[in-house]
Amino acid sequence: MGDAFQQVSDSMGELIESFFTTPIFGDATVGFTITTFYFLLACLIMLAVFFAYKRKMEGTLVPHGFFANGVEYLIDFVANDVCKGALGDTWKQHFPFLATVFFVVMFGDYIGMLPTWKAGTGTTGVTGAIALMSFCYFIMVGMKKKGVFGYIKSLAPSGLPAPIALIVWVIELFSTFLRLITLAVRLFCNMFAGHVVMGVFAIMATTFVQPMIAQFSAAALGTGAMSILWMALLILIYLVELLVAFIQAYIFTLLSAVYVQLAEAEGH
Amino acid sequence: MNVIGYGICVIGAALGIALAATAVANSMARQPEVQGRLFTVFILASAFIEALCLIGFVVAIM
């Protein structure tokens, strides 16, 4: 059994390597990578789903069937739980953007849950791009509402003595830019870590059964029986990851909505 | 060494999420009608805590 554990830790490097993105053409900095490909695929699937939904809803306001009801439930979820909850009165104005972010992230996450496919959101390049869009969006909303200088000034709360206001302003500016990084890194880390954990259990399940296939003995049977446990854990982790993929899309959208709300808020 | 560091990191995150969950469970018992809003706050808080832990995970295996 010790051998099997050694073998697992030997193949860890290879496993982690396989989750890094590889370029199809160009290089990993500027170019078309495998993750970008799956992200585009996820976007295409998303568009197909929504055009199909739109065709189904033509000429009627009542959704019929599992598909139309399911899509409508998700849209309602974004509208009620995320937008109305976080934004209040102006939710209708920001709903299109936030719903787009939600569905792009959700489809990007779920496409990685299919075996041998890679998550579209599994690299900092893609998550960074989505985070940058939502970052630009809330800054634009703030600047539209308060004017360019008004927004920059409103980072620090009004009514503070000058030296403290300057310090608070610098801290707030720093934390505003930190939002961009945390949005991107949170999504990437969740996808990456989840896939690594699933990969480890998959490797364990196969490595522990190998001695039993090579030469059948009582000891090998004991080791092989362990792989049933790893298999069960793998399925459990897979179910948790299905939940995490949805929660990450939800959190990404919710945080974007909260940032928009903060940019809009009159004085804080 | 990496694994030990990550273990320490997990202790912090576990305590954080446990504190948040305790507070939410207590509040829900006191005031069941705000369940929906509490759930949002709980998910948000655990997302922030969990992010730190996951950053630790990625740093540990790299």
At A160-172, the pLDDT tens digits run 788 888 888 888 8
The full set of domains in chain B, from first to last, is 2-61 (1.20.20.10)
User: What integer pLDDT is reported at residue A1 of this predicted model?
Assistant: 60
Q: CA nearest A78: which of A53, A104, A111?
A: A104
**A contact test, residue of B40, B41, B46, B52 with most A CBs within 10 A:** B40
The domains of chain A are located at: 2-264
User: What integer pLDDT is reported at residue B30 of this predicted model?
Assistant: 93
What share of chain B has pLDDT > 70, as a percent? Answer: 98
Specify whether the backbone of A95 is left (phi greater than 0), alpha (psi in -120 to 50) or beta: alpha
User: What integer pLDDT is reported at residue A189 of this predicted model?
Assistant: 86
User: What integer pLDDT is reported at residue A97 of this predicted model?
Assistant: 93
CB contact under 8 A, B54 and A254: no
Cα(A146)–Cα(A148) distance, integer angstroms: 7
Which residue from B36, B51, B57 is facing A186, i.e. has the nearest CB? B51
For the segment A187-207, what is each residue's pLDDT rounded down to a tens digit?
Answer: 888 888 888 888 888 888 888
What separation in angstroms does the CA of A85 have from each of A257, A268, B31, B50? Answer: 9, 19, 19, 22
Range with the poorest average pLDDT among A63-67, A134-138, A185-189: A63-67
Compare A139 and A209 and report the one with higher pLDDT: A139
Range with the poorest average pLDDT among A22-36, A127-141, A221-235, B15-29: A22-36
**Is B4 near chain A, with CB under 8 Å?**
no
Is the pLDDT at A210 greater than 90? The verdict is no
- Alpha helices by DSSP H, listed for chain A, are 2-10, 12-19, 34-56, 65-77, 85-87, 91-111, 124-146, 148-153, 162-214, 218-264
- Mean pLDDT (chain A) is 85
